[in-house]
Homo-oligomer: A and B are copies of this chain.
Amino acid sequence: MNVILASASPRRKQILENAGFDVTVRVSDADETLPDGISPEKAVEHLAKIKANAIERKTDETVIAADTVVALDGKILGKPRDEKDAFGILSALSGKKHRVYTGVCIIYNEKEIVFSDCTEVQFYKLDENEIYDYIATGEPMDKAGAYGIQGRGCMFVKEIKGDFYNVMGLPVGKIGQKIKKML
């Protein structure tokens, strides 16, 4: 089926295409400012809803938007500002369990659904040299939590509990279930 992806993330496009969707990317410059003191779930749902509603859509188009954050001890970690920030984030995640939240908004004609999914990720203990080497690859810089589980960051992950694709940025199994009920 055809879907309009309201996200510029090449990873989200790839996930949907792997799953068999035909994907058209259509992005807006929606205001992604978060209200203060919002929980990770509410934050990602709020931003997904804003992104999905910010693009123009035609009748019978299915629009999917998403937002992903990493939370450690309830505190939201976004994308790193610079390499020093990436080092701080990865040091904080080392040896610990964190949570990845992706909020999704799907719009089809008059119907709109918003939900989020959470995956727990347990990191191995990282040493400083591993973190420096990883930052030198450039991989952390555009990613929430400063790592990519689909890239070299896979070496840091001991185990996950939940949907892997939710960590990459889109809980594709849950999206399939929701779309089945919606259409």
Chain A: residues with CB nearer than 8 A to chain B?
15, 18-20, 119, 124, 137, 149-152, 154-165, 172-174, 176-177
Contacts and interface: CB of A to CB of B under 8 A. Distances in A.
Contact of A172 (B154, B159, B162, B163): B154
B124 A154 contact: no
A162 B120 CA distance: 10
Contacts of A158: 163, 173-174
A114 to B, nearest CB: 20
Given A159-B163, A162-B160, A18 B151 contact: yes
Contacts of A119: 159
A101 B99 CA distance: 25
